[in-house]
Amino acid sequence: MDFEINTKGKDLFLALSTVSLILMMFITTLLWWFISPRLHEISSILADISLTVLRIFYLILILGTILVYLTCYLERNFLIAHFAVAAFIKVLFPVTLMLGRLFGFNKDRLRISFIHVNNSFVKALRKKFKPEDVLILLPHCLQNSECNIRITFNINNCKECGKCSICQLKKISEKYKIHIAIATGGTLARKIIVENKPKLVIAVACQRDLVSGIQEVFPIPAFGILNERPFGPCINTTVSTDLVEKAIKCLVVST
């Protein structure tokens, strides 16, 4: 399962996530401190119970954070880590993004860090998926803007002229017998996923679309590969087909 897509950027998201959790603990402690006198007036037992619940909450946060760190850096699937991973993907990222803005971090830099962390979560499953259970999902901007062939609903319409990455990606999907589709936006992407019911998505997109897609398809694991934008966003983008093929070799059962 040796497979490397640059994961050096994981530290930023994990560090800011940890700061977010510490802030959450501080805020909840402050709230309890403000209401504790009132709780003691009502019942000392109630006050003790609320403090115990708060301590348990902190313990869960700390254990969950440790599990996420271990899962991310060791890329091993630890017991009950799934719940902690779900919290990081669905809940903590928006908070971390807001915190990153306050600290002056670039949004795309933080999104890329999140994608690296997510990919480590997928690799930590240590699972090989059957080709028929995998979907390669591509953005329409990979297609050459001067091409008149409509491939959004059927990539097999591609004439394989070689002017964009679609040709090579189509051949890769045929080689590994994996379904491949192109989406023009989030609505179509969701429709494709509902229709195909994949157990793994290998998604190519820009930072923003990858992050939103990863969050939307969860708990289906989605391995994200960033596209390259030599002409700016949403036009004549490209992607390293080597990275796509390496992801397949790592995550898909060979046929």
Q: In the prediction, which pLDDT does 81 show?
A: 59
Least Cα distance to 133 among 3, 246, 253 occurs for 253
Residue ranges of domains in the chain: 10-122, 128-251
Q: How confident is the model at residue 131 (pLDDT cuts 50, 70, 90)?
A: very high
Q: Which tens digits make up the pLDDT trace of 6-52? A: 445 788 888 888 888 888 888 888 988 888 888 788 888 888 888 88
The number of helices, as runs of H, and strands, as runs of E, in the chain is 9, 4
Q: What is the mean pLDDT of residues 171-179?
A: 94
Looking at residue 137, the DSSP 8-state letter turns out to be E
| 8 A C-beta contact, residue 121 and residue 71 | yes
| Fold assignment, 128-251 | Rossmann fold (3.40.50)
Residues 248 and 203 sit within 8 Å (Cβ to Cβ): no
| pLDDT value for 76 | 80
- Position 224 scores a pLDDT of 94
Instruction: Report angle CA 191, 196, 197 to the nearest 5 degrees.
Output: 100
Higher pLDDT, 7 or 180: 180
pLDDT band at 127 (very low <50, low <70, confident <90, very high): confident
* Nearest-angstrom CA–CA distance, 35 and 225: 47
Band of the pLDDT at 112, cuts 50, 70, 90? very high
3-state secondary structure of 39: helix
Nearest 5°: the CA angle 22, 26, 29 is 135
User: Helix or strand or coil: residue 228?
Assistant: strand
pLDDT of res. 255: 64
pLDDT in tens, 208-239: 999 988 988 888 999 999 999 988 888 889 99
Per-residue pLDDT band for 4 (boundaries 50, 70, 90) equals very low
Strands (E), the chain: 134-139, 179-183, 200-205, 222-226
pLDDT digits (tens, 9 = 90+) for 61-79: 888 788 888 888 888 877 5
Give the model's pLDDT for residue 51: 86
Percentage of the chain with pLDDT > 90? 30
Amino acid, single-letter form, for residue 97: L
- Segment 75-103, tens digit of pLDDT: 887 755 567 777 777 777 888 888 888 88
